Amino acid sequence: MALVKKDLDLEKRWGKLLEGLQELLGKKPTDMNAVLFIIGVHELGKGPRHFSKEEKQDLMHIATCKVLSFSGFYSLDFIDQDGWPHWKLEKTLPHLDSTEQEKMLKLHVLEYFEEEFEIDIQ
């Protein structure tokens, strides 16, 4: 029963984050990839612009590394001459099924917005 409540709390917090992003951006992110894209653009620090398909994938990778850095899975290695951050894997990610991966990412994304933007998503 405690696990179900924990999952419900996570989904409630996630919904609150999506609503907050909708207020901020004028459009509600549709899924995890959209949220990771938003984080990636923020981390790149060059503002919104048109990105190629490859750049969008790179932005989602940057975001994933950034949020997982809160648990020590990645650390910032360097920023290249074009201003793109590159991350170094510090410890092996756990083998999780897709549902557990999604939960882990959601928890880290929530932590990102709480830490980086001091948003209360409780």
Contacts of 96 by beta carbon, 8 Å cutoff, 6+ apart: 104
pLDDT in tens, 44-100: 999 889 999 999 999 999 999 999 999 999 999 999 999 999 999 999 999 999 999
Q: Are 17 and 109 in contact (CB under 8 A)?
A: yes
What residues form DSSP beta bridges with 89?
74
pLDDT exceeds cutoff 80 at 1: no
Closest Cα partner for 121 from 30, 6, 45, 111?
111
SS3 state of residue 54: helix
C-alpha span between 88 and 100 (Å, rounded) = 23
